[in-house]
């Protein structure tokens, strides 16, 4: 039996409610301030033009994963990932005065996390996504998300506990 | 350890650099249109195909921007057969829902939300009616009075092709045929070719094709509510619940269900069907936000399913204020 699924996006509502945070998440995940908005918009356009074959429970989580992968693919092709991260977190719109020393340490610690742990951290702590939502969006098990989140949290907790003594 | 979680959330909140949503929806629609029609030269391979089309549609976007700059945003795209189709982005009148018909001047088959963004693809000879893609089901074209929609600056509606009811329905659409789901693939290839050809033609008449349902999230408010309990605090003026109105139609029977996607900072989600009459459904949403550092967003997905098994989903969003943040001004 064939069941047709058509995922329709309330685009205006998504852009107004979720787009700013999704772009922020992709920027933190990839370290690429400029490419993130383009990648998020492309991900959304791709979903509208060619709806995925699986139902999407959380569009923000799905778009964050897809857009991050797009930026990373481009970065890998260009070998630019390290250069992009060198600019974090003092990208445009944020000055050192606005960030505490702790924020700078957290940014550095996030940057140093393994890729998957970093993704899961941003999903969980910035986008407030549940373990189940993250697992579905990243196509991994909930156990994997819990394990990676636990390890990332331990690393970041050490940074927060020690303050600037990294 | 909860303090660690709170500190991390606060720190990442300060480090986050949100995207600017201005004009983004229009840009995405234009990109989707380019992707769906192949104008950008990139296959519509789906969003999951990460990175592959990242650079592919950029030329189309550049073309669209140039067209805007020239003050003539009526896109012209190849349809593959040598002919061309023009389209024009427009905004539906903000003064109440606009009835849309399947033919100019005909009976309404759906309503367009006040202020909705639509893409006009044709007009009547007189210019009194415009054919626009139904925002709820982009593969459908519906007709609205030209007086009920305002073209974007620089858009020349008279450049739209003149079409009649049946022609406009066949206009190229940015929405591809819904992808098949739950389709089983054959696990083995046939090893031998059939040796005989069928000698008789099938005599049965094919069943009429069942169309998927339409599903529209109507205009509703508030889109931000106060948590129904938890941390205490007073002073918020927002309501503690919101009622979301849904419109769904089908050529058979259709049922609408709602589901709240879990959010780590929202607890006690309650989404209740409070009324259903004809093609209208109303769902009431109440929640409690864990707080205390930010206003989380609840993702609510509505699904319309018809008796043939077609599914159409629409997603909308509600922000839930933790009561300890009251009074809160968005």
Query: Residues A144, A147, A149, CA angle at the centre, nearest 5°?
Result: 105
Q: Which residues from B are below 8 Å from A52, CB to CB?
A: 46-48, 179
Domain ranges of chain A: 3-87, 93-161
Q: Which of B4, B180, B315 sits opposite A160 (nearest CB)?
A: B4
Q: Which of A28, A33, A57 sits opposite B12 (nearest CB)?
A: A28
Half-sphere exposure of B96 (CA within 13 A, CB side): 1
Percent of all residues in chain A with a pLDDT value above 70, rounded to a whole number? 80
What rounded mean pLDDT belongs to chain A?
A: 81
Which residue from B minimizes the CA distance to A11? B25
Phi, psi of B31 (to 5 degrees): -65, -40
Listed by number, the residues of chain B in 15-34 with a beta carbon closer than 8 Å to a beta carbon of chain A are 15-21, 24-25, 27-29, 31-34
Is pLDDT at B81 greater than 60 in this prediction?
no
Report yes or no: B175 at the A interface, CB cutoff 8 Å. Answer: yes
Separation CA A161–CA B100 (nearest Å): 60
Is pLDDT at B264 greater than 80 in this prediction?
no
Q: Which of A3, A99, A110 sits opposite B311 (nearest CB)?
A: A3
Architecture of domain A93-161: Orthogonal Bundle (1.10)
The model's pTM is: 0.51
**Closest to B121 in 3D by CA, of B47, B80, B71, B175:** B175
pLDDT for A146: 96
Report yes or no: B274 at the A interface, CB cutoff 8 Å. Answer: no
pLDDT for B188: 44
pLDDT for A153: 92
ipTM: 0.82
Task: Identify the weakest region by mean pLDDT among A21-35, A119-133, A134-148, B99-113.
Answer: B99-113
Three-state secondary structure string covering chain B: CHHHHHHHHHHHHHHCCCCCCCCHHHHHHHHHHHHHHCCCCCCCCCCCCCCCCCCCCHHHHHHHHHHHHCCCCCEEEECCCCCEEEEEEEEECCCCCEEEECCCCCCEEEEECCCCEEEEEEECCCCCEEEEECCCCCCCEEEEEHHHEEECCCCCHHHCCECCHHHHHCCCCCCCCCCEECCCCCCCCCCCCCCCCCCCCCCCCCCCCCCCCEEEECCCCCCEEECCCCCCCCCCCCCCEEEEEEEEECCCCEEEEEEEECECCEEEEEEEEEEEECCEEEEEEEEEECCCCCCCEEEEEEEEEECCCCEEEEEEEEEEECHHHCCCCC
> Which of A20, A46, A94 to mutate to probe the B interface, most B CBs <10 Å?
A46
- What integer is the mean pLDDT of A48-76? 86
Could you tell me how many residues make up chain A?
166
Percent of all residues in chain A with a pLDDT value above 90, rounded to a whole number? 45
Listed by number, the residues of chain B in 130-149 with a beta carbon closer than 8 Å to a beta carbon of chain A are 136-138
């Amino acid at each position: 039996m064939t069941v047709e699924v058509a995922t329709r996006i309330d685009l205006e509502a998504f852009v107004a409610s979720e787009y700013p945070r999704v772009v922020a998440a992709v920027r933190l995940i990839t370290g690429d301030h400029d490419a993130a908005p383009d990648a998020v918009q492309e991900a959304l356009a791709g979903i509208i033009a060619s709806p995925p074959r699986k139902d999407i429970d959380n569009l923000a989580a799905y778009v964050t994963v897809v857009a991050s992968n797009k930026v990373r693919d481009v970065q890998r092709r260009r070998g630019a990932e390290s250069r992009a991260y060198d600019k974090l977190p003092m990208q445009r719109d944020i000055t050192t005065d606005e960030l505490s020393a702790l924020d700078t340490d957290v940014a550095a610690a996030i940057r140093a996390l393994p890729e998957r742990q970093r993704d899961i951290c941003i999903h969980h702590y910035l986008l407030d996504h549940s373990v189940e939502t993250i697992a579905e969006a990243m196509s991994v098990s909930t156990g994997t998300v819990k394990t990676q989140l636990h390890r990332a949290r331990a690393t970041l907790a050490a940074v927060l506990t020690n303050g600037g003594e990294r | 350890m909860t303090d660690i979680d709170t500190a991390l959330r606060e720190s990442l909140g300060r480090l986050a650099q949100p995207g600017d949503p201005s004009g983004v929806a229009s840009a995405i629609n234009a990109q989707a249109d380019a992707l769906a029609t192949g104008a950008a030269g990139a296959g519509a391979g789906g969003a999951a195909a990460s990175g592959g089309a990242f650079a592919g549609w950029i030329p189309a976007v550049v073309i669209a921007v140039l067209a805007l700059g020239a003050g003539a945003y009526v896109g012209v795209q190849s349809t593959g057969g040598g002919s061309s189709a023009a389209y024009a982005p427009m905004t539906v009148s903000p003064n109440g829902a606009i009835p849309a018909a399947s033919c100019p001047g005909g009976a309404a088959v759906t309503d367009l939300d006040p202020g909705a963004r639509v893409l006009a693809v044709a007009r009547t000879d007189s210019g009194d009616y415009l054919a626009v893609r139904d925002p709820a089901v982009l593969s459908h074209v519906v007709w609205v009075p030209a007086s009920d929609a305002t073209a974007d600056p620089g858009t020349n509606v008279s450049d739209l092709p003149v079409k009649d009811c049946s022609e406009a329905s066949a206009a190229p659409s940015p929405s591809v045929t819904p992808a098949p789901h739950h389709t089983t693939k054959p696990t083995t290839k046939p090893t031998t070719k059939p040796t005989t050809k069928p000698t008789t033609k099938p005599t049965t008449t094919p069943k009429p094709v069942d169309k998927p349902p339409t599903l529209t999230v109507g205009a509703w408010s508030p889109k931000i509510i106060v948590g129904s309990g938890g941390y205490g605090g007073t002073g918020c003026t927002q309501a503690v619940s919101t009622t979301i109105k849904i419109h769904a139609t089908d050529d058979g029977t259709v049922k609408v269900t709602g589901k709240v996607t879990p959010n780590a900072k929202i607890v006690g989600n309650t989404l209740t069907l409070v009324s259903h009459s004809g093609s209208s459904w109303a769902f009431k949403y109440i929640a409690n936000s864990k707080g205390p550092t930010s206003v989380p967003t609840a993702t609510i997905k509505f699904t319309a399913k018809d008796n043939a098994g077609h599914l159409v989903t629409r997603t909308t969003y509600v922000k839930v204020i933790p009561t300890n943040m009251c009074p809160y001004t968005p």
